[in-house]
Amino acid sequence: MEKQTRTPILSVLGHIDHGKTTLLDNIRGTAIAAKEAGRVTQHIGATEIPIDTIKKICEPLKRDWTGIEVPGLLFIDTPGHHAFASLRKRGGALADVAVVVVDVLEGFQPQTYESLNILRLLKTPFVIALNKIDRIKGWNSKSIPFCINYKDQPEYAQESLDARIYEIVGDLYDKGFSADRYDRIQDFSRTVCIVPVCAKSGEGIADLLLVLIGLSQKFFERTLRIHLEEAGVGTILEKKEERGLGTTIDVILYDGQLSVGDTLVVGSTEEEPIVTRVKALLKPRALQEIRTEQRFKRVRRVNAASGVKIVAPGLENALPGSRVRVSKQGKDELERVIKEIKGEIEEMKMETSPEGIIIKADTMGSLEALALELKGEGIEKIKKAEVGSISKRDIIDATTVKDRYLSVILGFNVDLL
């Protein structure tokens, strides 16, 4: 069976207000503006930019595209920990590459360091998008590649930017990473790329896309090769209630194929994984067609890499951050897949102690990040760590803890039931 190269999956991380959303919006907007060369596909929870569109955006950089087999780039629209399948012991992450957005004037902030820790933990390669370069004194930002615009800047503005870049290089060195401005790097396998950008004007977007395509092609070519006909494997980004559809899951499919009618094994908050049958697969409609009652179009089949909303019975206890797998080969294979998913969830569970605090979060990735941060602050006693809203049961459990300083419930992105 012939293997094909799938689209690399990218996640955008960084400190609050450093421009993650603006950067994603600009990449999407730039791609939509250049869409004559290739359509921009809106996925559930992701935006795909085809290689033809990227070539058009990067045209001023006059690069040779021979040997590039990557079909495009798939940007996950949920900046932050949602993007990571929390399979730390297996060293796996949903994102192939991460883009860490850093404000050029503010430099590294707590969430930036948090992102770096998670990337190191999951062994995920990353690129630094050094944003808001238009705020450098004297810098005249235009919607063109950075390496072209840099030459036209006054010397003092160039020096000011270089000084900021060296600060970032120093911060990364302290964390054990070698880094430099992308156009000065000789060995991309050992050095973190820093790409100066302005998400507002669009300056540097072409440089960033070119670097991401180059890295994906050079270092992930083998891992991106998949059998499209094989059983689909994906990660749950979110679980949502949709009017008229019930509980649905938003999934990034990163291997194989998923079709309506397939038997699906889904990670669950309960003891046993959910076994269900795919009732419908939904993709967003084109941007100009958005209507509240018709936001989605139904498709019969999706191939990796792709973002899709899955409608199926019994998804109420689906666990965001866990895996979904298609089972096609009968009873024996189904049992093997159930065992596999069960094992992965066991692996994701954190060590707990009889006395300790209770932590709740919206996804396994967020839960793991929260536990990691608490550990960093010297809080290692955790009585219960679960995905889901804070319930009466949690409050009762917290009141039974004898140490009043540990009789605490911490929630991340969750509601009180």
Q: Convert the pLDDT of each residue in 28-75 to its tens digit.
A: 777 666 654 445 556 567 788 888 889 988 999 988 787 788 888 988
Residue 1 reports pLDDT greater than 70: no
Domain boundaries, the chain: 4-225, 227-346, 357-412
Give me the pLDDT at residue 115, please.
81
- DSSP 8-state assignment for residue 183: G
Q: How do residues 71-97 score in pLDDT, each as one tens digit?
A: 889 888 655 444 444 433 333 457 889
- Distances from the Cα of 193 to the Cαs of 24, 131, 168, 184, 326, in angstroms? 19, 13, 11, 9, 37
Q: Give the whole-angstrom CA distance, residue 310 versus residue 102.
A: 34
Residue 192 reports pLDDT greater than 90: yes
Residue 314 reports pLDDT greater than 80: yes
Give me the pLDDT at residue 288, please.
39
Chain centroid to CA 39: 22
Question: 204 near 133, Cβ under 8 Å?
Answer: yes
Q: Who has greater pLDDT, 274 or 17?
A: 274
Q: Who has greater pLDDT, 375 or 140?
A: 140
Q: Which numeric CATH code is attached to 357-412?
A: 3.40.50.10050
Give me the pLDDT at residue 32, please.
62
Residue 308 reports pLDDT greater than 80: yes
Give me the pLDDT at residue 285, please.
65
- DSSP 8-state assignment for residue 17: T
- 227-346 is classed in which CATH architecture? Beta Barrel (2.40)
Same topology between domain 4-225 and domain 227-346: no
Which of these ranges, 64-68, 143-147, 167-171, has the smallest mean pLDDT?
Answer: 64-68
Residue 191 reports pLDDT greater than 50: yes
Give me the pLDDT at residue 31, please.
64
Q: What is the pTM of this model?
A: 0.78
- Residue 275: which region, alpha, beta or left (left: phi > 0; alpha: psi -120 to 50)? beta
Q: How confident is the model at residue 399 (pLDDT cuts 50, 70, 90)?
A: very high
What value does the mean pLDDT take over residues 94-101? 88
Q: Name the CATH superfamily, with its identifier, for domain 4-225.
A: P-loop containing nucleotide triphosphate hydrolases (3.40.50.300)
Residue 265 reports pLDDT greater than 60: yes
Residue 121 reports pLDDT greater than 80: no
DSSP sequence for 212-245: HHHHHHHHSTTTTEE-TTSBPEEEEEEEEEETTT
Looking at this protein, which amino acid is placed at residue 160?
S
Q: How confident is the model at residue 4 (pLDDT cuts 50, 70, 90)?
A: confident
Give me the pLDDT at residue 367, please.
81
Give me the pLDDT at residue 158, please.
98
Tokens 């000789």 belong to residue: 186
Is the sign of the CA dihedral 399, 400, 403, 407 positive or negative? negative
